[in-house]
């Protein structure tokens, strides 16, 4: 069984929670407790159709205000696939939580109300999906039951979507389909009301996506820790523990230590009591080298060192996530994987409004939820690649050294 991570965003009005509830319900994945809660709350609120939102809005404040504030994680599996859904807020003031939810996803589901067409929120959500280079974006034109399942309405919105996505250089695989979460059309079960639609249901689309498709082939590993063991069985065992960011490592490979540039040969890969001859991206391993090399946490092992990895000048797009504004020359702690370095905000080149990405403007400070192109200078190299070339090694966060808060996420150009 494989694992697919999905992000959904939107406000309650879009029917996002209803869609998730419908998906679980028609996939027969709701627990008895969830079914009882839905029935009880629907009755309390005097609603005609089942209120599925109660299973995703988990915080007291969310239920009080009727909005989603923070990401909820929902887990379920079908016969051959396990899904993790990050149910994220759509309101502009919670953009940071939407980015959080989308960061670990491969697929984004964007809901559009058939009566309203594309809204500012739709543009923002698509912009973030594109910024995060998600592999697939599925546009669900929802509430088709309220427009008499009209093909014209659907085609009109599909044309608006085409126009929007044409503005971006990174284009994911795009699917557009007509659904009704409330009535269950084309969510899990194909609809009889949309004979003109010949494509897959949402469930069908989500089952056909191949997870972890394109991977960067260059080997990179963050050194998390150095382990040293001295006992009867392991005499002078010294190993480097970390998770492979990208590429593949085999016993016998030569690796280069960054930043020192020292080279050595891998003599053992270990996973608990197993010593496999190779390991791939995503695996948490320990490795031993032939030579006694000076390696500690914060260093990186690669096979193909390049100038970019050692650069202290970083051009990136950042999403500002803190109430406290970012100002020019501000100093932050940059963290990428397990590496950290102090950095300075050298320049704010342009702020990008997600609703209209071509209308960039200049600014001297960054406000909460601003998205901007910036230049940073780090005190030491942090071995970052470009986000487009190597997703997990092209991203960093900025930490405010006074509050310790995570104040920004950055994507290296």
Nearer to another protein, 112 or 285 (CB): 285
Nearer to another protein, 81 or 308 (CB): 81
Element (H, E) at 136: strand 136-142
Q: Which value, in Å, is the radius of gyration of the alpha carbons in the chain?
A: 24
Nearer to another protein, 34 or 386 (CB): 34
Nearer to another protein, 167 or 406 (CB): 406
DSSP SS3 for 94: helix
Nearer to another protein, 86 or 140 (CB): 86
Encoded tokens for 353: 């409004």
For residue 91, the minimal CB distance to another protein (Å) is 13
The answer to whether the Cα torsion of 175, 180, 186, 189 is positive or negative is positive
For residue 203, the minimal CB distance to another protein (Å) is 10
Encoded tokens for 16: 């996002």
Nearer to another protein, 70 or 113 (CB): 70
For residue 304, the minimal CB distance to another protein (Å) is 21
For residue 54, the minimal CB distance to another protein (Å) is 8
DSSP assignment string, 282-303? T-EEEEEESS-----TT-EEES
Nearer to another protein, 84 or 174 (CB): 84
Those residues whose C-beta lies under 8 Å from the C-beta of residue 36, and which sit 6 or more positions away, are: none
For residue 182, the minimal CB distance to another protein (Å) is 22
User: Residue 132, class by beta-carbon neighbours within 10 Å (0-12 exposed, 13-18 middle, 19+ buried)?
Assistant: buried
For residue 12, the minimal CB distance to another protein (Å) is 15
Nearer to another protein, 55 or 176 (CB): 55
Nearer to another protein, 78 or 360 (CB): 78
| Contact call for residues 50 and 29 (beta carbons, < 8 A) | no
CB neighbours (10 Å) of residue 128? 23
DSSP assignment string, 145-207? GGGTT-HHHHHHHHHHHHHHHTT-SS--EEEEEE-BTTTTBTSSSPPSS-TT--S--HHHHHH
For residue 318, the minimal CB distance to another protein (Å) is 12
Those residues whose C-beta lies under 8 Å from the C-beta of residue 187, and which sit 6 or more positions away, are: 19, 22, 23, 26, 179, 181, 201, 202, 203
Encoded tokens for 103: 């960061």
Q: Does the bond joining 259 to the residue before it have cis omega, within 30 degrees of 0?
A: yes
52 vs 85: CA distance, rounded Å: 15
Q: How many secondary structure helices (H) and strands (E) does the chain include?
A: 8, 23
| Contact call for residues 270 and 288 (beta carbons, < 8 A) | yes
Question: Are β-strands 331-336 and 395-399 bridged in parallel, bridged antiparallel, or unpaired?
Answer: antiparallel
For residue 348, the minimal CB distance to another protein (Å) is 20
For residue 148, the minimal CB distance to another protein (Å) is 32
Nearer to another protein, 11 or 180 (CB): 11
For residue 99, the minimal CB distance to another protein (Å) is 7
């Amino acid at each position: 069984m494989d694992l697919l991570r999905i992000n959904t965003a939107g406000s309650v009005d879009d029917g996002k929670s209803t869609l998730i509830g419908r998906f679980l319900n028609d996939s027969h994945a709701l627990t008895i407790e969830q079914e009882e809660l839905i029935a009880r709350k629907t009755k309390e609120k005097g609603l005609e159709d089942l209120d599925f939102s109660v299973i995703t809005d988990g915080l007291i404040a969310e239920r009080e205000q009727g909005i989603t504030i923070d990401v909820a994680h929902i887990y379920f599996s079908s016969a051959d696939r396990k899904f993790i859904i990050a149910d994220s807020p759509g309101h502009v003031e919670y953009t940071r939580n939407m980015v959080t939810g989308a960061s670990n996803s491969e697929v984004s589901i964007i809901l559009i109300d058939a009566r309203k067409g594309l809204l500012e929120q739709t543009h923002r959500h698509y912009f973030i999906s594109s910024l995060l280079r998600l592999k697939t974006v599925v546009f669900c034109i929802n509430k088709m039951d309220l427009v008499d399942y009209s093909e014209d309405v659907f085609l009109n919105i599909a044309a608006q979507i085409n126009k929007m996505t044409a503005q971006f250089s990174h284009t994911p695989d795009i699917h557009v389909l007509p659904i009704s979460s409330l009535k269950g059309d084309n969510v899990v079960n194909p609809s009889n009301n949309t004979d003109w639609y010949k494509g897959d249901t949402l469930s069908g689309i989500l089952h056909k996506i191949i997870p972890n498709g394109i991977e960067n082939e260059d080997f990179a590993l963050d050194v998390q820790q150095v382990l040293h063991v001295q006992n009867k069985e392991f005499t002078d065992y010294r190993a480097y523990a970390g998770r492979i960011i990208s590429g593949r490592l085999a016993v016998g490979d030569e690796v280069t230590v960054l930043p020192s540039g020292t080279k050595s040969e891998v003599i053992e890969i270990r996973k608990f009591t197993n010593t496999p001859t190779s390991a791939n991206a995503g695996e948490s391993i320990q490795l031993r080298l032939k030579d006694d090399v000076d390696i500690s946490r914060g260093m990186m092992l690669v096979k193909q060192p390049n100038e970019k990895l050692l650069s202290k000048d970083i051009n990136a797009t950042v999403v500002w996530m803190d109430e406290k504004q970012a100002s020019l020359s501000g100093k932050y702690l940059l963290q990428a994987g397990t590496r950290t370095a102090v950095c300075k905000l050298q320049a704010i080149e342009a702020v990008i409004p997600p609703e209209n990405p071509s209308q960039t403007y200049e600014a001297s400070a960054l406000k909460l939820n601003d998205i901007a192109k910036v230049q940073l200078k780090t005190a030491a190299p942090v071995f970052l690649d470009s986000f487009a070339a190597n997703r997990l090694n092209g991203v960093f966060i900025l930490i405010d050294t006074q509050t310790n808060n995570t104040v920004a996420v950055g994507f290296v150009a």
